[in-house]
Structure 1
Amino acid sequence: MHENGNLTTQIAMNILLVEHDENHAKLLTQVLAEYFPMSSIEFCQTNEELKTALNAGVLYDLALCEVELRDGLIFEIFQELLPSFPVVFMSAYDKYWSQSMAYNAIDYLRKPIEKEEVNRVLEKYEALKLHFLKRFSAENNSRITKSAFQKDRLIAKKGTNYYVVATKDIAFIYTESRIVFLIDRMGERYTVERSLSELEIELPSRDFFRVNRKFIVHINAILSFKPSFKGKIALELLHLAKAEVSISQENAAQFKKWIEE
């Protein structure tokens, strides 16, 4: 059995294993059970089974996935249901490596797979998880400090007049040609003499999210969102129905977490 004093090996884990080859499935299940003895492993052999598992509402901590399944490539499902958890992809071929990087890949294993390779990638996962746990702790402490500086209202300009706009009345803020615009929930447009980076700090983080370099949005201005090209998320915003605002694949998981807070 793998012996390690780190926290990640000793907490309950939800692991998704997608593999149609019985020998590899047996090996992977054995190594996972040894490395994470308190883990719960959901086993799938087809894309159809994977889709059912992803729609069940389970929050997975890690997935190990064969690329080529009996009913098609796994990317067909991940394009529809973007994984928010880290994924280790497996294949007998190198040709899927680049495509797998769009779906939270932390490693890519070539078949046939040896036990030592699985242990190596689990150690990599463990190191990454501990790193981000430490970062989260530091950022959480910073957020508590930052909350003292967050604003309930902003001064915005329209024409030659200045107005006080409550943050709860803001739909979204965006930059265009180096000018920062504020759109309120009634659709009125103002300019703001602040950068998006400054506003990102000053606005309540529970209500506002920096979706990309050009937009900060209020949660109540999000009408809908859907998976888009290369793991991105496309937003439909209040008063901006004709144009989609995209969230990068790198920020997609954090966006989903923020939505559910």
Structure 2
Amino acid sequence: MTILLVEKDETYAKLMTQVLAEYYPMAMIEFCRTIEEVKTKLSTSILPDLALCEVELSDGLIFELFRDFMPNFPVVFMSAYDKYWSQSMAYNAIDYLRKPIGEEEVNRVLDKYENLKLHFLKRFMAENDSKSTKSVFQKDRLIAKKGTNYYVVATKDIAFIYTESRIVFLIDRKGERYTVERSLSELEIELPSRDFFRVNRKFIVHINAILSFKPSFKGKIALELMHLSKAEVSISQENAAQFKKWIEE
């Protein structure tokens, strides 16, 4: 994932770079301070997946560039004033942040971006509900990261995937841990449904990683997973019937 950050203020640039790096550990963050730098970046690089742009820069308003270069990517505009809000709506704006901006507000717009992305993905799949369409999204491998290195992990070698403190971790069949730049909701769509099941808000498991399962309190099901033999992962009563059907099929 590539994120374009356009900000003239060093304090805000540092804050947002830190929040973005925590939210998207594997993202490439490209930083610009002026309209000319943005123009050069957009002309010579692959377009970003998301942009966070200060409206007023030292060499003019960012809208002056966007009038000539209508962005084909979602943008979050930022300003110390409300007066640019209506203008921003004409340029693929998904939000408008009024300064001063805190960490919580940046995380909120990133959550919004993820929810919108997932919504349109699900809508597209619903409108094109066919085996050939689903196969486009379902993956047989993922790109994962450990330290500074990236690895290709085959889906058949994944034991389970879970989220903790906004970071998505992948555990393979050998017990090795990686990070993945995908939300669990995206992975739920992309991973083969025959092999993987979203057991709760935090876990997606491969069927071969399930060592055993048993009834638990209030109609729940408790799982014992590979590499988590001493910890039980629970399936809610609402998902229990669907889980049993998935296991049998």
With structure 1 as the length reference, what TM-score do the two structures score? 0.49
RMSD across aligned C-alpha pairs, in angstroms?
Answer: 1.7
Identity of aligned residues (%): 76
Task: Give how far 1:144 is off.
Answer: 6.6
Distance in 2 of aligned mates of 1:140 and 1:42: 34
Which residue in 2 is equivalent to 1:90?
A: 78
Residue matched to 1:38: 26
> 1:16 aligns to what?
4
| Cα separation, 2, equivalents of 1:28 and 1:53 | 19
Deviation by residue 1:31-69 (Cα, 9 ceiling, x = unmatched): 000001110011000000000111124131100000000
Which of 109, 116, 125 aligns to 1:128? It is: 116
- Specify whether residues 48 and 143 from structure 1 end up closer, same or farther in structure 2 by C-alpha distance, changes over 3 A only: farther
Residue of structure 1 in register with 2:49 after alignment: 61
Query: Structure 2 CA distance, aligned partners of 1:141 and 1:77?
Result: 39
What CA distance in whole angstroms lies between the structure 2 residues aligned with 1:82 and 1:143? 35
Q: 2:97 aligns to what? A: 109
1:139 Cα offset (Å): 3.1
Letter in 1 for 2:25: P
Residue type of the alignment partner of 1:31: V
User: Within 5 A, what are the aligned runs for 1:83-232?
Assistant: 83-141=71-129
1:135 alignment partner, SS class: helix
Per the alignment, in what secondary structure is the counterpart of residue 90 of structure 1?
strand
User: Match of 1:156?
Assistant: none
Q: Secondary structure at the match of 2:112?
A: helix
Amino acid at match of 2:61: L
Provide closer, same or farther for how the CA distance between residues 131 and 16 of structure 1 changes in structure 2, counting only shifts above 3 A: same
Deviations 1:201-255 (A, max 9, x none): xxxxxxxxxxxxxxxxxxxxxxxxxxxxxxxxxxxxxxxxxxxxxxxxxxxxxxx
What displacement does 1:142 show? 6.1
Instruction: Name the CA distance, whole Å, in 1 between partners of 2:84 and 2:131.
Output: 39
Counterpart CA distance in 1 for 2:45 and 2:57 is 22
Unaligned runs of 5+ in 2: 134-249
Query: How many angstroms apart in 2 are the aligned matches of 1:44 and 1:54?
Result: 11
In 2: Cα distance, 1:56 partner to 1:139 partner: 35
- 5+ unaligned residues in a row in structure 1: which ranges? 1-12, 146-261
**TM-score with structure 2 setting the length:** 0.51
In the alignment, what sits opposite 1:26? 14
Code of the residue aligned with 1:20 in structure 2: it is K
Q: Secondary structure at the match of 1:55?
A: helix
Match of residue 76, structure 1, among 64, 67, 87: 64
Does residue 50 (structure 1) correspond to residue 44 (structure 2)? The answer is: no
